[in-house]
Amino acid sequence: MLKLFNGNVEAKINLKGAELSSLTICGEEKIWTADPKFWGRHAPVLFPIVGALKDNEYSYNGKIFKMNQHGFARDMEFKIMEQEDDMVLLQLNADHNTLSVYPFYFTLEIRYKLSEKGINVTYIVINDDDKTMLYSIGGHPGFNISNINNCEILINGDYDLLPLDGSFIGENIKRGNGNIKLSNESFVNDAIILKNQKEKKIILNEDGKESLEFIYDDFDVLGIWKPYNEAPFLCIEPWNGIADYNEKESKELKDKEEIRKLKVGAFEKFTYKINFNEEK
């Protein structure tokens, strides 16, 4: 477990999965504690898929590959490439284990940089292969909350609401506008999924106070999730990728919704920012 500190914010990051496991501001823990009674993770990295595949499999160049929900990066050991008091750059490379389930040579780098009120998280994906790389990537940070029934997501403008049908995306997409009042019943069908947002920023309002600002300009989709129980946390998840659609017929990776296509030798970079209101 490595530590970052800038005098106000402290982060702890586990090299397994490059997972942000703690973020404290003035001694107050903001990241979910990973109590296995509810959900045993803090903030996993989703790569090279986001969400679930039909039958946990996909097809590429005529071959079937098995892969569990959200991919393998969250369970792999990263190495430290650079480190300062308030920043670390971690890296994961393809190996014989990844190639058995994902036929691309890649480099995945994750940069954590503390800010005055929180942390900035950057994903850098590099195609080391001799062919176009197909992938998705996303974050899954969980935040401590006291009572979901006292929470509201503040959103500026319009967005699409994508329905979940089990682990997969359903057909009846709705248009939403403005804030979303939360309750445990909001998650009876799993996550709330936003797409085509006018502004890629939300604010978490708890007990009438703005507690967290989440900015995700580089991502196309946002998931908001907690278990359908009294778990005292909420996940806010920026995605460039999405689960399979329930009516999907093709298992071809190239046909997957929101799949990204990265040219040989190219890279892409995505950042999301988490800022806390210390007056909460």
pLDDT of residue 12: 98
∠ CA 219-225-230, rounded to 5°: 160
Architecture (CATH level 2) of domain 2-276: Distorted Sandwich (2.70)
As separate numbers, helices (DSSP H) first and strands (DSSP E) second, the chain gives 1, 27
| pLDDT in single tens digits along all 280 residues of the chain | 999 999 999 999 999 999 999 999 989 999 999 999 999 999 999 999 999 999 999 999 999 999 999 999 999 999 999 999 999 999 999 999 999 999 999 999 999 999 999 999 999 999 999 999 999 999 999 999 999 999 999 999 999 999 988 889 988 899 999 999 999 999 999 999 999 999 999 999 999 999 999 999 999 999 999 999 999 999 999 999 999 998 877 899 999 999 999 999 999 999 999 999 875 4
CA–chain centroid gap for 117, Å, is 20
Q: What is the pLDDT of residue 280?
A: 42
Q: How much is the pTM? A: 0.96
Strand 260-262 vs strand 201-206: parallel, antiparallel, or unpaired? unpaired
Locate 108 and state its tokens: 């995945």
Domain boundaries, given as residue ranges, for the chain: 2-276
Structure tokens belonging to residue 170: 């359903």
User: What is the reported pLDDT for 4?
Assistant: 98
175-180 contacts, C-beta under 8 A, 24 or more apart = 179/152, 179/153, 179/154, 179/155, 179/205, 180/152, 180/153, 180/155, 180/224
- How high is the pLDDT of residue 279? 58
